[in-house]
Amino acid sequence: MTEKKIRVLVAKPGLDGHDRGAKVVARALRDAGMEVIYTGLRQTPEMIAEAALQEDVDVIGLSILSGAHMALVPRVLELLKEYGMEHVKVFVGGIIPDEDVPALMELGVTGVYGPGTLTEDIIRDIHNALSIAPAA
Amino acid sequence: MNLTTDVLAGKRLALARLLTHIENGTPEGRAALDELFPHTGRAHLIGITGAPGTGKSSLVNQLARFYRHPANGSAPRKVAVVAVDPSSPFTGGAVLGDRIRMRDLAGDPGVFIRSMASRGALGGIAIATAGVVQAFDAAGYEIILIETVGAGQAEVDIARLAHTTLVVEAPGLGDDIQAIKAGILEIADILVVNKADRPGVENTERALKNMLQLAHPTRRVFHHHGQVMMVEAPAAPQPEAQLWIPPVLRTVATEGEGIAELTEQIARHGTFLRQTGDWNRRERVRLQNELDTLLQAALVARWRATLPNGRYGEILERLVARELSPRQAVEALLAPQPSNLATP
Ligand code: B12
Ligand SMILES: Nc1nc2c(ncn2[C@@H]2O[C@H](COP(=O)(O)OP(=O)(O)OP(=O)(O)O)[C@@H](O)[C@H]2O)c(=O)[nH]1
Ligand SMILES: [Mg+2]
């Protein structure tokens, strides 16, 4: 009852309707004991940052299979900064070409995950990311 | 940063952080609630309960929209939403999905939506929900919409917390209306038949109205020049002001149909509570419950601290071995310590 839970927002930004991966990840994180706020499809970066603020999440998970990640992810990170939420860890999954990964990491993304990722790896990385830099 | 001052100054990030402290039961959260308490008591708390999938979140979305953009030209009101979903009893995790239906509210700084997991509580809301609601109230949110877990049971906890409780039904969910609805009339201030675009609305509506009549056998409803008047007992001094019979309303939450009427009834119920003194009575009962609960917990904790080491475990063992009944175990624990009396 007085336990700290890891809170994660799982969102699908942009117009892409591939939601299987996001749902698989959401369920896996729930089964790992986390509280996952799932906002559904077609979220704008503004909606995502606002929801993350209201829900005071530790982690944002963006699932993008449309190819629009280089437009969407930087905008989300920018808004988080604007809202004073740099402490939130951002994870990105979906179809992300290898050559885009360094640029995303450079921008401040904590991890990028493609098809076939084991959910155990995602869970482990979330735990690591939060204990290395616990939310202020 | 000082949470309380920032919350009172309307800082949303501070409010979000405070809500987490309250959920986690931290000392910071408790201290802030103490400081905020004098600023509470202004909001209208509206509970929305009903079986899974009846459209609670969709209704919350529409109600919030309406309060933000009132059709009658009155000033928009600040709206907070607290949406509770169940925690998994096995892992303690949760998927909180109510926001999916509330996307119309995005981008409006006059709306704040917070999802909560039930964290093991069984009454449809979480233990910390009351505290979260208090924080919103202190932060100046005038309308607080509280969506319960969709359990389909009579969620008494929400009726205790909210001023006005909406029970949401939908056609075609359970044909066995009688069975599901037991107890619901005790908590419903307003009955909503949502999904009125679906076949079977008339049946659901009729079943609810029949139940209402059965539930109030002593009340007679008079139609007088088109006005409905209710009279309880012949001797009641101001009968029409004393009784609230839950109205049954149709809505289509996905289209926004029936929402204006629903908000009218909510406002009417608020006025009714204030005029009859029930608003204050409810508040009083709620605060007294809270006081008693805290008092009991504090007394038990204080008393436990005075028990000699091992005494509690000893009695518990005898209880488990069925040497003592639970009542005898309590008496044994409360009795003067044998170590003080016995003179070996
Ligand atoms: C199933 C599928 C569909 C289904 C989607 C059903 C649904 N509701 O999800 C349907 C048939 C509808 C569909 C449609 C389309 N699709 Co399609 N689809 C696929 C397919 C075959 C599999 C996707 C999938 O569900 N995988 C299973 C899940 C579990 O895996 P995943 O999403 O990758 O998730 C894993 C990881 O990526 C990661 N992950 C994902 N999200 C997240 C989030 C976080 C926070 C983290 C940490 C990790 C993470 O972890 C997950 C678990 O391992 C892929 C090809 C492929 N092999 O990936 C193409 C693919 C994604 N589709 C593609 C395309 C082009 C389309 C269409 C545009 C086709 C068209 N012309 O109509 C439409 C667009 C639909 C729309 N509205 O957006 C392309 C995208 C190309 C690109 N980005 O450059 C792909 C890559 C096929 C291809 N090779 O061309 N599609
Ligand atoms: N046809 C119709 N569908 C509706 C109506 N209201 C809601 N729905 C749909 O019913 C489904 C469930 O709606 P929600 O608002 O999520 O219901 P809920 O009661 O909050 O569900 P839980 O929180 O899971 O218990 C969604 O697919 C909605 O689009 C309505 O008035 N008519
Ligand atoms: Mg809901």
B151-166: per-residue pLDDT in tens? 766 578 898 899 999 9
Structure tokens at B343: 């003179």
CB distance A38 to B95 below 8 Å: yes
φ, ψ at B103 (rounded to 5°): -65, -20
Cα-to-centroid distance, B97 and ligand 3 (Å): 7
For residue B288, pLDDT beyond 60:
yes
Mutate to test the pocket of ligand 1, among A7, A18, A24, A92 (most ligand atoms within 8 A of CB): A18
Q: What's the rounded mean pLDDT across residues B203-209?
A: 87
Q: What is the pLDDT, as a whole number, of residue B142?
A: 98
Ligand 2, residue B168: give the atom nearest the CA: 19
The whole-angstrom separation of Cα B295 and Cα A18 is: 52
- Grouping H, G, I as helix, E, B as strand and the rest as coil, residue B169 is strand
The whole-angstrom separation of Cα A46 and Cα A50 is: 6
Residue B148 Cβ < 6 Å to ligand 2: no
Cα angle for residues B304, B305, B311 (degrees, 5° grid): 60
CB distance B184 to B167 below 8 Å: yes
Residue B55 Cβ < 6 Å to ligand 2: yes
The whole-angstrom separation of Cα B156 and Cα B165 is: 10
Q: What is the pLDDT, as a whole number, of residue B1?
A: 57
Hey, how many other C-beta atoms are within 10 angstroms of the C-beta on B6?
Answer: 18
Q: What's the rounded mean pLDDT across residues B206-231?
A: 58
Q: What is the pLDDT, as a whole number, of residue B78?
A: 98
Q: What's the rounded mean pLDDT across residues B188-204?
A: 93
Structure tokens at B123: 């009454």
What phi-psi label fits residue A67: left (phi over 0), alpha (psi between -120 and 50 degrees) or beta? left
Q: How confident is the model at residue A85 (pLDDT cuts 50, 70, 90)?
A: very high
Q: Is the ipTM here above 0.95?
A: no
Look at strands B227-231 and B220-224 and give their pairing: antiparallel
Structure tokens at B211: 């139940």
CB distance B185 to B215 below 8 Å: yes
For residue B335, pLDDT beyond 90:
no
Question: Which class for A126: exposed (0-12), middle (13-18), buried (19 or more C-beta within 10 A)?
Answer: buried
Residue A22 Cβ < 6 Å to ligand 1: yes
Q: Which helix or strand (DSSP H or E) is residue B326 part of?
A: helix B326-334
Cα-to-centroid distance, A136 and ligand 3 (Å): 31
pLDDT in tens, B166-175: 999 999 765 5
Residue A122 Cβ < 6 Å to ligand 1: yes
For residue A97, pLDDT beyond 50:
yes
Using a CB cutoff of 5 Å, list residues around ligand 3, an ion.
B 56-57, 98
Mutate to test the pocket of ligand 2, among B59, B60, B65, B101 (most ligand atoms within 8 A of CB): B101
Residue B56 Cβ < 6 Å to ligand 2: yes
Ligand 1, residue A16: give the atom nearest the CA: 78
| Average pLDDT over chain A, rounded to an integer | 93
The amino acid present at B26, given as its one-letter code, is T
Lowest mean pLDDT: which of A12-26, A68-82, B179-193, B242-256? B179-193
Spell out which residues of chain A touch residue B119, defining contact as CB-CB under 8 Å.
Answer: 1, 3, 5
Residue located nearest, by CA, to atom 3 of ligand 2 = B195
How long is chain A? Answer: 136
Q: How confident is the model at residue A18 (pLDDT cuts 50, 70, 90)?
A: very high
Q: What is the pLDDT, as a whole number, of residue B289?
A: 84
| Average pLDDT over chain B, rounded to an integer | 87
Lowest mean pLDDT: which of A13-22, B23-32, B34-43, B202-211? B202-211
- Across the interface, which of A26, A34, A53 has its CB nearest the CB of B12? A53
Q: What is the pLDDT, as a whole number, of residue B294?
A: 86
Structure tokens at A95: 């179809």
CB distance B80 to B145 below 8 Å: yes
Q: What is the pLDDT, as a whole number, of residue B153?
A: 65
Residue B252 Cβ < 6 Å to ligand 2: yes
- Across the interface, which of B25, B94, B115 has its CB nearest the CB of A30? B94
Spell out which residues of chain A touch residue B13, defining contact as CB-CB under 8 Å.
Answer: 53, 83-85
CB distance A35 to B96 below 8 Å: yes
- Grouping H, G, I as helix, E, B as strand and the rest as coil, residue B117 is strand
